[in-house]
Amino acid sequence: MHYDLIVIGGGAAGLMCAIEAGKRGRRVLVIEHANRVGKKILMSGGGRCNFTNLHAAPENYLSANPHFCKSALARYTQWDFIAMVERHGIAWHEKELGQLFCDESSKQIVKMLLDECAEAAVQIDTGCTIEQVRRDDQGFSLDTARGTRNSTALVVASGGLSIPTMGASGFGYQLARQFGHRVLPTRAALAPLTLSGKHLDDYADLSGVALPVIASTAEKSFRGGLLLTHRGISGPAILQISSYWQPGEPLHLDLLPDHELPEWLQAQQRERPSAELKTVLSEALPKRLAQRLCELRFGNRPMRQYRPGELNEIAAQLRAWPIVASGTEGYRTAEVTLGGVDTAELSSTTMESRKVPGLYFVGEVVDVTGQLGGFNFQWAWASGHAAGQAA
Ligand SMILES: Cc1cc2nc3c(=O)[nH]c(=O)nc-3n(C[C@H](O)[C@H](O)[C@H](O)COP(=O)(O)OP(=O)(O)OC[C@H]3O[C@@H](n4cnc5c(N)ncnc54)[C@H](O)[C@@H]3O)c2cc1C
């Protein structure tokens, strides 16, 4: 069986690529080893798929080459994807910070992609494992559990390593190496952080407590929610900073990002000298956390008994609470994989290999990783589209 194009992986990037190539009259086969396509789309955004972001721009992506993503993102924008969503009558809304979600269900996005595939006469083979990939004079030859499939071009869209239970595999990296491509070191990103020892013992029983913070490394800051968990810390601000945090690096949390400090504490001292610090802090922070901070660090006396220097020190600690994370929760819960196929060996306009003509890499398998908020799907759509226009 000979195809113009075989796409390995029926996720966001693979399906978009197949649609675009199919629309151009290419004979396309998508091979997906899981029992259905688009599993990550289905589980994304709490079941409502944060399918893009109004503000998607190259600055929202991490890569050894920050310029690489520009061309594909410019040629298939968030507005192009929104237009497709609207063509299919899918109602959507902006939640916050430009993040767009389906009003109803992420199933609608998968159905939309499958309808587009059907219209473009794309063939999809699910539950099909690939044993071997070879290159010959005709193109590519894939030995699968259902026999050999041949194609002129091959698109690797098999995703990253996050959530192995959803079909994630290292297959794309393995193929890249087989064809002489460099794979940059991978690690779990957009992942909760773990604490250990005293750092965990002091706060683990506050699991479930949530508050707005600004989480910072020396280079990057994110404002968003923090959630204390029984193993460490999570929430949007932590997931975001986890992509930039290096093991061993200090991390700081601004626990009162909406308060002027130390002015607010000084005003409380003037206005309510008899109020205990715990009571004052409980009005700005979750009560259990305020109590714990007083127990462990600040003491709990009437406000009038704190000297100016002490109030300044408390303010400084609330402004930059030091966190010593022991690691991330890893691929089990990470939303994405950092690193991957080195962009230096790919064309940024077509995603084609510079080493092996006819071979393409798209989506998360490539060393381009988005921040939290719909940016990863936008990269999947844009890079899939770029390859689908060329392959
Ligand atoms: C829980 C969760 C929630 C997320 N929420 C969002 C969100 O709301 N917004 C956002 O922008 N991003 C989100 N992401 C990230 C987003 O899902 C990914 O960045 C995106 O799916 C990457 O697309 P992809 O096509 O490259 O890879 P995937 O979508 O992972 O697709 C790869 C496909 O290849 C298949 N495959 C793997 N190995 C093989 C093989 N050997 N043979 C055949 N098939 C194979 C896999 O089964 C899979 O179907 C979320 C991720 C997770 C884990």
CA 53 – ligand 1 centroid, Å: 17
Which residue shows structure tokens 């990103």?
A: 189
Which ligand 1 atom lies nearest to the CA of residue 362? 26
Alpha-carbon span 243 to 21, nearest angstrom: 33
Which ligand 1 atom lies nearest to the CA of residue 45? 8
CA 41 – ligand 1 centroid, Å: 7
Beta carbon of 380 within 6 Å of any ligand 1 atom: yes
Model pTM score: 0.96
Per-residue confidence of the chain (391 residues) as pLDDT tens digits?
A: 799 999 999 999 999 999 999 999 999 999 999 999 999 999 999 999 999 999 999 999 999 999 999 999 999 999 999 999 999 999 999 999 999 999 999 999 999 999 999 999 999 999 999 999 999 988 999 999 999 999 999 999 999 999 988 878 899 999 999 999 999 999 999 999 999 999 899 999 999 999 999 999 999 999 999 999 999 999 999 999 999 999 999 999 999 999 999 999 999 999 999 999 999 999 999 999 999 999 999 999 999 999 999 999 999 999 999 999 999 999 999 999 999 999 999 999 999 999 999 999 999 999 999 999 999 999 999 999 999 999 9
Beta carbon of 338 within 6 Å of any ligand 1 atom: no
Any idea what DSSP says for residue 112? H
Contact (Cβ atoms closer than 8 angstroms) between residue 383 and residue 366 = yes
Helix (H, G, I), strand (E, B) or coil at 23: helix
Q: Tell me the one-letter amino acid at 376.
A: N
